[in-house]
């Protein structure tokens, strides 16, 4: 049965952007407390310990997951080791609005990746949906004043975020191209653990390079511990679980459009921290983003 967008899969794909928006806000808040690649490693190390009681059987050599170890090694590199490390790096030197703008190009990269590497055709509805969704994102980023976009200036962090976006697009397509038996796919804890084992190794390697380059720093305290606990449980375990299930149900192209909810949620969360109320353009942007999702997912 071909993947299709249902209310249940839409809910799953909405939870993930909400948590990832919070992850971006928290990552920006703790940038003075810990170096970015080390933050990614500590986040996944804690997530590994939290998931271990539910997926310890996946680590056994007889597990049905290990015949597919090459696939999990690549998923761990793209989705665990690279994406978040690059995002945290981007937040060190780039403004949140620039990082969000680059990340908002995800649907276009998702469509391009599917066309170039997975033999997928881009329909008129999908392209129309991508443009509608991008318009909604730009409306949020410009705060309803389009001339604000002309003031944006790219920096090194924007390149890191572009690489992160490409990494996530490829990760999502590979996530949907599963060859595991049904009993393996339905065991979400084991499925995520298999990715996390390799992803933790990749992120540890990248953190070691950061330490070797002399860019390591960490300032322990309750703010950092609280932030680590949140990003390990919410944006890591819960969001990755919801995203994996949503991609397998709806398909990577439809899922890619939900990424554009992230900057909207980020704007609302940032406004909440600043004590500001949402404006009318937030409602218009939400309508455009959701309209893009509906148009892109519609069938003839």
Domain chopping of the chain, boundaries: 7-297
Question: What's the CA gap between 195 and 201, in Å, rounded?
Answer: 10
Question: What's the CA gap between 242 and 127, in Å, rounded?
Answer: 25
| pLDDT tens digit sequence for 131-169 | 777 777 677 666 667 777 676 666 677 788 888 888 888
SS3 annotation, 64-107: CCHHHHHHHHHHHHHHHHHHHHHHHHHHHHCCHHHHHHHHCCHH
| pLDDT tens digit sequence for 177-203 | 766 666 556 677 888 888 899 999 999
Question: What's the CA gap between 215 and 6, in Å, rounded?
Answer: 45
The per-residue pLDDT for 96 is: 63
Residue 37: phi and psi, rounded to 5, are: -70, -35
* pTM higher than 0.75: yes
Contact between 253 and 110 (Cβ < 8 Å)? yes
């Amino acid at each position: 049965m071909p993947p299709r967008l249902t209310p249940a899969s839409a809910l799953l794909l909405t939870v993930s952007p909400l948590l990832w928006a919070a992850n971006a806000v928290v990552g920006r808040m703790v940038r003075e407390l810990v170096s970015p690649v080390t933050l990614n490693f500590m986040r996944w190390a804690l997530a590994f310990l939290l998931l271990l009681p539910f997926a310890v059987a996946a680590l056994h050599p007889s597990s049905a997951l290990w015949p597919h170890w090459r696939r999990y090694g690549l998923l761990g590199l793209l989705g665990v080791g690279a994406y978040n490390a690059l995002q945290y790096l981007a937040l060190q030197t780039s403004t949140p609005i620039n990082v969000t703008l680059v990340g908002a190009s995800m649907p276009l990269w998702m469509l391009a990746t599917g066309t170039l590497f997975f033999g997928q055709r881009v329909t008129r509805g999908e392209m129309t949906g991508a443009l509608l969704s991008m318009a909604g994102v730009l409306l949020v980023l410009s705060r309803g004043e389009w001339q604000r976009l002309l003031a944006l200036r790219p920096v090194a962090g924007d390149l890191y975020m572009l690489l992160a976006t490409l990494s996530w697009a490829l990760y999502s397509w590979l996530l949907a191209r599963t060859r595991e038996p049904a009993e393996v796919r339905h065991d979400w804890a084991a499925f995520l653990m298999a990715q996390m084992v390799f992803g933790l190794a990749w992120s540890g390697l990248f953190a070691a390079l950061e330490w070797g380059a002399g860019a390591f720093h960490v300032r322990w305290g309750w703010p950092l511990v609280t932030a680590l606990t949140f990003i390990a449980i919410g944006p890591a375990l819960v969001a990755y679980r919801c995203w994996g299930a949503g991609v397998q149900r709806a398909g990577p192209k439809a899922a890619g459009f939900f990424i554009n909810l992230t900057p909207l949620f980020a704007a609302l969360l940032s406004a909440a921290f600043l004590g500001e109320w949402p404006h009318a353009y937030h409602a218009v942007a939400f309508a455009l983003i959701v309209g893009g999702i509906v148009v892109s997912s519609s069938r003839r």
